[in-house]
């Protein structure tokens, strides 16, 4: 059954002040797993201890492209030790977006090393991979065409797909079987057309349909994320969990 996780970037302000206490709160709210975006100076042993205490699963870790270039072995060792399965490339800086052939070759290399260590490399999209074209296709599709599924799996940020003007449901169908992780998030467009991420159920994204499609496609984790929270980020993830529980009560086949 699909499980519900949290991308910890959402509560980064609280993690800075109280890493362990924040993870305890995340578990208390009902999230089953966490996707890390940094470890805030904690050692492997410290992370292992708080995961064991809370019962949270280490889903994976967002690890920057440059960090993987510089210290892949270290990142693999840390993630293996804490039981994390997925190493996720979360974002590419603007200066990197004009050298896709090199990026693609690097992804192949990262993916091979992950595979050798029993881990899985994923790529997490924003909107630019859908709006930028390469060889007449969205860059996101070119990446997945060029890097074999055995070396690179999909973490689909359904919200950014929708914001880019593409159809998240089509992308879920296209990459079914290669899609272990989906970011489940909501947003509104501000008056100037820019996005503002909001709690689940407070925005314009078809999150019910996305959840249904992801579950039907066998996605392992639906991961709640809010890039920016207008108020207290712990209150935001609590509000999102209220929506998730309501979704489950209406028949959504998720583990909450």
Mean pLDDT of 163-189: 97
- pLDDT tens for 195-245 read 999 999 999 999 999 999 999 999 999 999 999 999 999 999 999 999 999
DSSP conformation class of 95: G
Q: Which pLDDT belongs to residue 254?
A: 85
Buried/exposed 125-155: b ≥16 CB within 10 Å, e otherwise: bbbbbbeeebeeebbbbbbbebbeeebbbbb
Asked if pLDDT for residue 133 goes beyond 80, the answer is: yes
Q: CA distances (Å), 172 to each of 2, 75, 213, 236, in order?
A: 14, 28, 7, 26
What is the share, in percent, of the chain residues with pLDDT greater than 90? 96
Binned at pLDDT 50, 70 and 90, residue 255 comes out as confident
**Count of CB atoms within 10 A of residue 24's CB?**
15
Mean pLDDT of 170-186: 98
Cα separation of 224 and 35, whole Å? Answer: 10
Q: Which pLDDT belongs to residue 256?
A: 81
Q: Which pLDDT belongs to residue 251?
A: 82
Mean pLDDT of 55-72: 97
Enclosing H/E stretch for 196:
strand 195-198
Asked if pLDDT for residue 252 goes beyond 90, the answer is: no
- pLDDT tens for 98-127 read 899 999 999 999 999 999 999 999 999 999
**Average model confidence (pLDDT) across the chain:** 97
Q: CA distances (Å), 233 to each of 1, 63, 87, 244, in order?
A: 27, 22, 24, 16
- Look at the pTM and tell me if it is higher than 0.75: yes
Cα separation of 75 and 180, whole Å? Answer: 20
- pLDDT tens for 5-35 read 999 999 999 999 999 999 999 999 999 999 9
Q: Which residues contact 173 (CB under 8 A, 6 or more apart)?
A: 213, 217
Cα separation of 11 and 35, whole Å? Answer: 11
Enclosing H/E stretch for 13:
helix 12-17
């Amino acid at each position: 059954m699909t499980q519900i996780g949290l991308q910890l970037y959402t509560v980064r302000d609280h993690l800075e002040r109280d890493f362990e206490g924040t993870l305890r709160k995340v578990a208390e709210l009902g999230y089953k797993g966490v996707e890390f975006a940094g470890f805030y100076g904690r050692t492997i042993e410290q992370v292992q201890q708080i995961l064991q205490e809370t019962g949270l699963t280490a889903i994976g870790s967002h690890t920057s492209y440059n960090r993987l270039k510089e210290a892949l072995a270290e990142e693999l060792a840390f993630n293996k030790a804490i039981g994390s399965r997925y190493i996720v490339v979360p974002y590419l800086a603007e200066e990197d977006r004009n050298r896709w052939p090199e990026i693609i070759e690097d992804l192949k290399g990262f993916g091979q090393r992950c595979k050798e260590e029993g881990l899985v490399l994923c790529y997490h999209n924003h909107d630019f991979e859908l709006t930028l074209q390469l060889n007449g296709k969205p860059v996101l599709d070119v990446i997945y065409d060029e890097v074999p599924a055995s070396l690179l799996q999909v973490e689909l940020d359904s919200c950014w797909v929708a914001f880019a003007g593409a159809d998240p449901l089509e992308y879920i169908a296209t990459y079914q079987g290669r899609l272990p992780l989906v970011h489940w998030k909501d947003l509104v467009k501000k008056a100037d057309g820019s996005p503002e991420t909001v709690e689940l159920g407070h925005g314009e994204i078809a999150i019910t349909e996305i959840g249904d499609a992801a579950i039907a496609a066998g996605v392992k984790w639906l991961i709640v994320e809010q890039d920016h929270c207008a108020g207290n980020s712990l209150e935001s993830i609590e509000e999102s969990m209220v929506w998730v529980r309501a979704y489950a009560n209406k028949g959504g086949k998720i583990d909450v």
